[in-house]
Amino acid sequence: MSRSTCKVLYVSGEISPFVRVSSLADFMASFPQAMEDEGCEARIMMPKYGVINDRKFRLHDVLRLSDIEVPLKDKTDLLHVKVTALPSSKIQTYFLYNERYNKRSGLFIDMSHGDDYKGSAERVIFFNLGILETLQRLGWKPDIIHFHDWYAGLVPLLLKTVYADNAFFKDIRTFLTVHNVHRQGVFPLKSFTKLLPENLVEGLHIEDGKVVNMLFTGMKHVDTVSTTSEKYAGLISSDTPVSCGADKVLASRGMLPQGITNGLDGKQWNPSSDKLVKKKFDVERLDEKRENKKFLLESLNMPFEEETPLIGAMIHFDRFQGIDLLIESVDKLMELDLQLVIFGSGNKEVQSKLQALSKEHEGRIGLDFEFTDAGFHQLMASVDMLLIPGKSESCGMQQFFAMRYGAVPVVNAGGGISETIVGIDAQSDGSGFVFHDYTPESLVEKIGEALAVYGDQERWETLVKENMERRLTWKRSAKKYNQLYSELLERK
């Protein structure tokens, strides 16, 4: 597919390093560039949350992208757009904002307890309309609008209703990739009926006559659906707890999502050139990784014990990413010879529980609730193992970062992440440790197996070096997405 025939707009509610809630942010940090490398012309849009620092990320106003009129049912609001390049690439990234809707520092959902912020439905509607109005003002017409999770779930329906007679949008195709099926963007119906025309409201996915499900609305009207592993594609298409109801929506369309695993950008994630870590290192300089470990432990006021394995976890504090399982497992883990550091943010009650555990096991559990990009890189460069206990990861990105930085992943097999890890046991080598039951006993047992291998330093060092040298690029997956784009554009 040539550049001139494949223009793709990528839309997401989170992109690293600007905002990170889940692995979607890390996906979006590198996936658009991978598609550009395959010949697509990529541009990106996301909301301009108040938490995003304009100066830090060099966001700037563009005169011709100011005062864009966004038509609502009985009024018109003005949209402004800030622009920067996606770090480590030259891809134009557009941040859509309105002072009234976007001044608040948080996102659409209050991540401290998981509920919607008051007024978030209006912000979401404004953002979805703003995407299409911004394209018109730019005069840049994509062949495909590829949106991720629920954030732009209205766009396919808008194209079929409000913008159906607008020649600019003729023949634009839509593509949805589901990363977190449990995050669905559910908002009060009354906000949609207040702000949007009746013919659009009729096409919404409404639940219990009271709320609109943005993810399912997108699924009902989008042209193509994918997700980030074959296993996860099967899970969300079947009547399983993992699907969270998506199976019924997909079945009503006769759609089966394509599963394509994620990849790694070796430029962004390279321990030998990473400016965000204390000490750069590679397979020939693994001693420098120990210096990172020492630096991280000291920064968390923990003692550095060279022979004691350090296990890390980077988790958003919700019921899906495994923080509950980790907390239940802590007492048993503390019976083993290890130190544990947990980076994450979210539910305040979870933070309090973790602080109590850290105080109880002083010097053995370290915490960081900042969830910064620099902290993420330093964690990967410092730990010996990375624990990913999520109940049903679609694929994720952390295991790739861990392997690249010499941290051996320990993962739950509940989702598609197991497609990217070859399990290690006493008889055979692989790339990580996989536990199959979502229980403290299963997690602790697998950590124990990992510690046993860690005790064999020759075997452990071989494992670490093999992981660091694995080819984990986007190339194969990008080609698969490109093929889906071609098939989508060839449809009548």
pLDDT of residue 108: 66
Distance in angstroms (rounded) separating the CA atoms of residues 429 and 387: 18
Give the Cβ contact number of residue 15 at 10 Å: 26
pLDDT of residue 346: 86
pLDDT of residue 3: 41
Q: pTM score, two decimals?
A: 0.94
pLDDT tens-digit readout, 135-165: 999 999 999 999 999 999 999 999 999 999 9
Cα dihedral 270→276→280→282 (10° resolution): -20
> What single letter denotes the amino acid at residue 148?
H
Distance in angstroms (rounded) separating the CA atoms of residues 18 and 373: 9
**Which domains, ranges and CATH numbers included, belong to the chain?**
3-263+474-490 (3.40.50.2000), 287-468 (3.40.50.2000)
Distance in angstroms (rounded) separating the CA atoms of residues 63 and 334: 57
CA-atom Rg of the chain in angstroms: 23
How much of the chain, in percent, has pLDDT values that exceed 90? 85
Strand, coil or helix: what is 186? strand
What are the CA-CA distances from residue 437 to residues 159, 389, 411, 445, 446 (Å)? 44, 10, 11, 11, 10
pLDDT 10s per residue in the chain (492 long)?
Answer: 444 469 999 999 999 999 988 899 999 999 999 999 999 999 999 999 988 999 999 999 999 999 999 999 989 999 999 999 998 788 999 999 998 776 665 666 554 444 444 568 999 999 999 999 999 999 999 999 999 999 999 999 999 999 999 999 999 999 999 999 999 999 999 999 999 999 999 999 999 999 999 999 999 999 999 999 999 999 999 998 899 999 999 999 999 999 999 999 999 999 999 999 999 999 999 999 999 999 999 999 999 998 999 999 999 898 889 999 999 999 999 999 999 999 998 889 999 999 999 999 999 999 999 878 899 999 999 999 999 999 888 999 999 999 999 999 999 998 899 899 999 987 778 999 999 999 999 999 999 999 999 999 999 999 999 999 998 999 999 999 999 999 999 986
pLDDT of residue 118: 55
pLDDT of residue 320: 85
What are the CA-CA distances from residue 233 to residues 56, 81, 262, 392 (Å)? 37, 35, 13, 12
Distance in angstroms (rounded) separating the CA atoms of residues 330 and 361: 10
